Amino acid sequence: MLILTCPYCGVAAEETELAPGGEAHLKRVGPDGDDQQFEAYMFDRKNEKGVHFERWRHAYGCGKWFLAARDTNTLQVYGTYRAQTPHPTDDIVAAIRKVSPDWNPDWTRAE
């Protein structure tokens, strides 16, 4: 069973206590965005086979949204962090690189 530690209340919550919320760090498209950008924001997903950053809600706990780094191919959890974090934290990156030294964060390119 998947266990994620809620970064707010510190509880190691089992999957049945959590509600999944899909891909994290999506950039909201504002009023200036065109149809294509809005479509990409709404629907197109990385659906990564490997390291995946995703949203979760501690639904049957403190009720707060948080983010998790998880490998969709091995089910390994690299860590969880607060929803207000603009991109995965250094210790998450370190945890991922410990397993996959070649892994490169892609948010540095985007910003």
Partner 1 sequence: MPSARSGHYSIFAIAREAFRQHTGWQRAWANPEPRSKYKVVIVGAGGHGLATAYYLGKNFGITDVAVIEKGWLGGGNTGRNTTIIRSNYLQDPSAAIYDKALKLYEDLSQELNYNVMFSPRGLIMLAQTEHEVRGYKRTVYANNLQGVATEWIEPARLKELVPIINLEGPRYPVLGGLYQERGGTARHDAVAWGYARACSDMGMHIIQNCEVQGVETEGGQLRAVNTSKGRIECEKLAMVVAGHSSQLAEMAGFRLPIESVALQALVSEPIKPCMDVVVMANTVHGYLSQSDKGEMVIGGGTDGFNNFTQRGSWHHVEETVRALVETFPMISRLKMLRQWGGIVDMTGDRSPILSTTPVRNIFVNCGWGTGGFKAIPGSGWAMAELIANGTPGPLAAEFGLNRFREGRFIDESVAAGVAH
Q: Which of 75, 84, 90, 101 binds partner 1 (CB under 8 A)?
A: 75
Question: Residue 15 CB, nearest distance to partner 1 (Å)?
Answer: 6
Q: Which two tokens stand for residue 63?
A: 């009720």
Q: Which of 32, 35, 102, 111 binds partner 1 (CB under 8 A)?
A: 35
> Position 15: which residue type?
E
Q: Could you tell me the CA-to-CA distances from 94 to 32, 35, 72, 103 in Å, in that order?
A: 36, 37, 18, 10
106 binds partner 1 (CB under 8 A): no
76 binds partner 1 (CB under 8 A): no
Instruction: Specify the residue, 48 or 95, whose C-beta has the smaller distance to partner 1.
Output: 48
Among candidate residues 86, 84, 40, the one with its CA nearest the CA of residue 64: 84
54 binds partner 1 (CB under 8 A): yes
Among candidate residues 51, 52, 62, the one with its CA nearest the CA of residue 24: 52
Radius of gyration of the chain (CA): 15
Question: Residue 62 CB, nearest distance to partner 1 (Å)?
Answer: 19
Residues contributing to the site for partner 1 (CB under 8 A): 1-2, 15-16, 19-20, 22-23, 35-36, 38-40, 42-49, 52, 54, 70, 72-75
